Amino acid sequence: MWGDKRYNNLNYELKKTFGKKIYKVSLNAGLSCPNRDGKISYGGCIFCSEEGSGEHAGNKLDTITEQINKQIKLIKNKHNSDSVIAYFQSFTNTYGNINYLRKIFYEAINHKNVIGLAIATRPDCINKEILDLLNELNKKTFLWIEIGLQTIHEKTAKLINRGYSLHSFENSFYKLKNNNIKTVIHIIAGLPYETKEEYFDSIEYINKIKPWGIKIHLLYIIKNSSLYYLYLKEKFHVFSEKEYINLIVNSIKILDKNIIIHRITGDGDKDTLFKPKWSLNKRRVLNEIQKKLKLENIIQGNL
């Protein structure tokens, strides 16, 4: 139904929309996060790295144009494609001066090779001024906004130092949705002390609110993160590869078929990853998920 995958995937959606393979270039706008600079808290969410989950993003000392050019060059060394989505990935990309944000977003979409814009942010960093800018951009390019949910359970949200309530998330999500701005929701599988049943509560919640897309992340532990020190102290359960594959297959089975899956595993940096080491072989994990889906004749939304 979705190319060579048994789930509704981003690669298929972009090919359907643009008629060819599209890649993302990950950018670093040099922004911060209210959960790091003291406005809400210090240190960020406990799973976040020093790069603000932007290990594969460009160098913030380069201009946005320079970052795009360098990453396109890397893509063209492997693939015959130069049409890209400009992905503002590191930290919180609506947390800054509105004039600076307008400047960098327009610099990105005015690049000759950029055909779309993706912006990762927090739901508590979308005010009316930001929403007006996003509406403006949405009329000019293929836009989506990524916001973290991670979990619907407040006790887990407090443990991971998320820094905002489910109500705050919903407030921003529905503002985006009501303005026809495509939204991608992040959730994490394997959060400390969260049961599999509680994780599936979050999947069912996603089905209920019906975003454009979802990213499912494996919880991985980065050395010297707050999560790393919590693990050393409490040794909470970390998924085995088999457990995780089974969990994702069951997630796909119950996920609304109209929700586009952007990601189904983690992508830690090999030099800083502490656990689980099996996640470094991303290709194998993806292949095993696909094999199990085929073996059990599962496609997205079976249930």
Number of domains in the chain: 1
Residue range of the domain that includes 70: 10-295
| % of the chain residues with pLDDT over 90 | 84
Per-residue pLDDT tens over the stretch 98-125? 999 999 999 999 999 999 999 999 999 9
Residue 3, in any domain of the structure: no
Q: 161 near 226, Cβ under 8 Å?
A: yes
Averaged pLDDT, 285-295: 97
Residue 31 lies in a domain: yes
pLDDT the model gives residue 98: 97
- Domain membership of residue 216 (yes or no) is yes
Residue 85 corresponds to which tokens in the numbers above? 């989505």
> Is 300 within a domain?
no
Residue 227 burial class via C-beta count within 10 angstroms: exposed 0-12, middle 13-18, buried 19 and up: buried
Among 45-59, 61-75, 189-203, 278-292, name the one with the lowest average pLDDT: 45-59
Q: Is residue 122 part of a domain?
A: yes
pLDDT exceeds 70 at position 252: yes
The pLDDT, as a whole number, for residue 303 is 83
pLDDT above 60 for 200: yes
Burial tier of 4 (Cβ tally within 10 Å: 0-12, 13-18, 19+) = exposed
User: Residue 275: which CATH number?
Assistant: 3.20.20.70
Within-domain flag for 147? yes
Q: Are 161 and 44 in contact (CB under 8 A)?
A: yes
- Average pLDDT, whole number, for the chain? 94
DSSP 102-132: HHHHHHHHTSTTEEEEEEEE-GGG--HHHHH
Cβ–Cβ under 8 Å, residues 138 and 165: no
Q: What's the predicted TM-score (pTM) here?
A: 0.94
